[in-house]
Chains A and B, each alone.
Chain A
Amino acid sequence: MRLAAMGILHETNTFSPNPTDDDAFKHSTIGGGPGVLLGEQVWEVYGHTGNTVAGFRDAASLPGLEVVPIAFASTHPGGTFPAATFERIATGQLERLAAAGPFDGVLLAQHGAMVAEGFPDADAEFIRRVRGVVGSSVPIGNVMDTHGNVSPAQVHGADLTLLWQTNPHVDCRDRGLAVARLVAQAVRGEIQPVQAIVNPPLAANILAQNTADEPMRGLLAQARSLIETTPGLLDISIGEGFPYADVPTMGMAVVAVADGDPAIAQRAAETIAGAIWEQRQAFDPRGVPVAEAVLLERGDTHGPVVLLDVGDNMGAGTPGDSTFILEGLLAARRTGFLLTVHDPAAVVTCVAAGVSAQVTLSVGGKFDGLHGTPQIVTGRVRILSDGHFQAYGIVHGGHKEFDGGITAVVDTAGGSTLVLTSLPVMTMSLDQHYSLGIDPVRYDLVVAKGVMSPQPAYGPIASRLVYVDTPGISTADPRRLGHQHRLRPMFPFEQDTQWSVTTR
């Protein structure tokens, strides 16, 4: 049995002014190299990671299965794709799929929150085109991100839809392997997958999306127990939704897969969607204000206080140069903090000055005027690095190779440390610091940009993780973003939204 493996995996923040264009795919800061991979390159770059496609490769060792890597495109989150970029990548993959065929099945690694000019649900468009190449009789299995904006068009465009069910994402590879097993069973005629999707009108605040915490923890447990107790029910996925996309499909979803009987899938999806709706208030929490967060003390604890810069969540497509927390720390005259800023201009200054040189820098707040103003910092250049690092241990999304571009470490006159990167690399691995000779445990306060993605790395060393309610295009409160195209009414925008699984 021959299966094709492919996909375009991208999380698009439509509020970002920085388009995900051809340049953004030249160099993926979370892939450590080119964003567009063809043929065997896919295995070479992603085979050893924790990504969905690594699970596809794992499937190649199952008896009787041949998995052919067609192509895979992925890069760091960013703004809407220009039409030409989407067309170039999609067409490239589809042509290779057609040329390498025929196949018995297709494995897709998508995200579910990809947006291109002309295609607000670009994942659905791509899946539609894949179906066009292979025809209706070839099973398509698709794995997407926990917080994709999962739509009926995506789900029904494929035969099997599984979402990652962890956030931070640590089960991507497992879900890749799982979908491959199901596709293989479908090809052999052992199962006849049918799907159902229910979308409650609910945008989940990112702060409520950690699957280890309530309300997601309990909902996932309920879904698991439903799978275990319902004959014929193969899988349930809860889609948390990606609020930073101004598209009609933005919001939560429940996808159920059953063997043969559509009613089983429908009932399961409705049950979980109803439970989500009942807990909608829990999906709308608040973060800690900056002025309060910057005063937190490590005290006599085992590790630093880790401040999560929610409004500059690079994993949601922000520029990574927010200075709201830095400004607060400087105003509070804090010492002993460690903070990472994406600021190529400041790096250029440091490189020109050289190791051990004193520098005065205007740090951050430069990309879009939405993430604070530049802060003046004086200090001494301790390290210059090429910015490549490999992540070990459990990493959000299973990423392995990172590239922050040329990176400078500056010890400030105030007794703190700034890590300045040339590329917008996500702060989700302590190996970023280790590769710079920094031991983050020694600091009183460590700032990570993101909400979920830093947690697998920073959680174990933190005496406390704090969601800081910073402004920005990944602000925790979706009401601040000014959506134009979303569903109406929708919670929490319209607090009195009425909805019921039975009265839809």
Chain B
Amino acid sequence: MTRSHPNVLVAGFSHELNSFIPGVSTAEVLAVAGPTVVGADLFGPSVGIDLELHAVAAVAAELGVTLLPSIYMWGGVGPVIEDSVYDRLRQRILHDAQLERERLDGVLLCLHGAMATQSVDDTEGDILAAVRAIVGPDVPIVATFDMHTHGTARMAASADALIGYRTCPHTDYYDTGARAMRLLARAMAGEVRPTVSMRKLRMTASAEHHDTNHGPMVEVQGLARELEGTPGILDVTVFATQPWMDVPELGWSVVVTTDGQPTLGQAAADRLGRAIWARREAFRVPKVPLHAAIERARASSGIPVVLSDSADTTTGGGNGDGNLLLAALLRDPRPDDSVALALTDAAAVDQCMAAGIGAEVTLQVGGSLTPDFFSPITLTGRVITLADGHYDSELPVKPRDVGGIAVVAHDGIQVVLTREKASQLDASIYRRAGIWPERVRILQAKSAGGFRAAFDRFSADTMYLDTPGPCDSDLTRLPFERIDRPLWPFDADLDEPWAGAGPDPA
């Protein structure tokens, strides 16, 4: 199996399900979020800069590995994928695997770990198992994953290594791709025999505290790195799980990849799993009621005060049309309010463009995309800025296009209306709209945790708003139907991290 220039099939797809967003992610919807590319374009610029695939290509070139690129789709976050979209991806990957089977030395799949279709809950487990069936047990398969993977037994059983991001906000796409490619190369050379051990926990937690720069996740990642110092352990990955997907097997998992030592791996996964479980209460999110948050922000000695409307996280599946903060501000406005908030509303942008710069407008804004949670409200104000939707975001560094921007000012409340939803992992959308976010008193971030790396650099205070929405951090308020129970925090007095584990040591 060891060749001087081994051949590796590369493919993948990335999508994160949010089950509480209405609709279906069709090919058209997905195309807005990102491209689907085939062949050499997998390593081109259209996928994004410095992502896993670029690292795979760079490391492969360094090690003399020949890559056989198949297909890749970047689909963002949203409701379930239309079956036909996944069928096409699956067929293409399996077709290429079949075609190249004779000369394949390895397989590398770049996945997300939270993509589900109308009828397949675990697309990643499904594709890994199907590829395994074609290439047989001796060709190593390594896959990369997002931290928000809902790890499944099928994934663990089908791959030789599952390598996940270690950062949130995710800034280690490239490192993850590089680690995976290096491990695969060592496996192909016969230097190691990667073996997956997984521990699934009966817990889930909202994304606010997945942040690896603050709070309990710092310690969890530290423990993972410590375990990696054990001889025989090749990689330790914590899958914190996209919390807003209503599928069986939802919950955290710990994956330990060892050099052929499953017993050691299982013990390590269990140890880290218990450590996470012991910290579960720290993953609860202290939410502040809207009115109280606004008052605290108005009284703050420092600015800006960042209000996370995390229940409408645009990078967690929210449509960005949640208008409850705006409604609260408009109900009780103050003459010296200084606010910037972004809202997705294509029709309102079009109305502003038609009315023209400087026009006084009365609009119905927000609530049109996610009617289960929000409804449109009336905004009167002046159109102070009109712009195209192009800008560069910091996280990840990526050209973006929200299709068009209009800023409507209602006294000091500046509403940034975008045709497509805008990431608020960083403040680029505000800067692009001509608002310097450091200068406003109240700054909205529709992000659950990822925003902190960028916003903490200049914010005076940060609060999580107690608003409902499809990314509600109070998971028990959402209409879950299919998750496996018991599951913390739904079963708040659950005392075992997994069946048979026994309760926390006192």
- Chain A residues packing against B (C-beta within 8 Å): 351, 354-356, 381-386, 388, 390, 392, 406, 431, 434-437, 439
Contact = CB atoms under 8 A, between A and B. Distances in A.
Nearest to B382: A386
A37 B229 CA distance: 72
Given A385-B384, A385-B385, A392-B439, A434 B434 contact: yes
A354 B386 CA distance: 9
Contacts of A382: 387-388, 390
Interface stretch (B241-249, B314-322, B353-361, B368-376): B353-361
A431 B358 contact: no
B498 to A, nearest CB: 50
A385 B357 contact: yes
Contacts of A436: 385, 434
A384 B386 CA distance: 5
Nearest to A430: B436
How many residues of B sit at the interface, in one of the four size bands? 20 to 34
Contacts of A385: 357, 384-386, 434
A383 B434 contact: yes
Leading 7 A-B pairs by shortest Cβ distance: A383-B387, A384-B357, A384-B386, A434-B436, A437-B432, A386-B384, A435-B434
B431 A434 contact: yes
A124 B109 CA distance: 82
A351 B391 contact: no
B341 interface: no
B433 interface: yes
A388 B434 contact: no
A386 B358 contact: yes
B356 A437 contact: no
A324 B387 CA distance: 29
A382 B432 CA distance: 10
B404 interface: yes
Given A355-B387, A383-B385, A437 B431 contact: yes
A351 B356 contact: yes
Given A386-B382, A439-B431, 6 more contacts: A354-B386, A355-B353, A384-B387, A385-B384, A386-B357, A386-B358
A11 B358 CA distance: 30
Nearest to A442: B392
Contacts of B390: 382
A406 B433 CA distance: 15
Contact of A437 (B358, B383, B404, B434): B434
A439 B384 CA distance: 19
A251 to B, nearest CB: 41
A388 B434 CA distance: 11
A321 B250 CA distance: 63
A437 B357 contact: no
Contacts of A381: 388
B352 to A, nearest CB: 10
Contacts of B358: 386, 406
A392 B439 CA distance: 9
A145 to B, nearest CB: 28
Nearest to B429: A437
A334 B387 CA distance: 25
A437 B384 contact: no
A388 B384 contact: yes
A437 B384 CA distance: 13
Contacts of B391: 437
A384 B436 CA distance: 17
A355 B386 contact: yes
A434 B435 CA distance: 7
A354 B434 contact: no
B385 A354 contact: no
B381 to A, nearest CB: 12
B399 to A, nearest CB: 14
Contacts of A439: 431
Nearest to B437: A434
Name which of B382, B386, B435 has the most chain A CB atoms within 10 A of its CB: B386
Nearest to A381: B388
A386 B432 CA distance: 15
Contact of A431 (B387, B433, B436): B436
A435 B440 CA distance: 13
A389 to B, nearest CB: 8
Nearest to B439: A392
Contacts of B439: 390, 392
A481 B435 CA distance: 41
B349 to A, nearest CB: 10
14 contacts: A355-B353, A355-B388, A382-B388, A382-B390, A383-B386, A383-B388, A384-B357, A384-B385, A431-B436, A434-B431, A437-B387, A437-B432, A437-B433, A437-B434
B40 to A, nearest CB: 28
A356 B436 contact: no
A357 to B, nearest CB: 10
Nearest to A438: B434
Nearest to A431: B436
A296 to B, nearest CB: 26
A385 B433 CA distance: 10
Contacts of A434: 431, 434, 436
Contact of B404 (A351, A355, A431, A435): A355
Nearest to A405: B358
Nearest to B354: A354
Contacts of B353: 354-355
Interface in B262-310: none
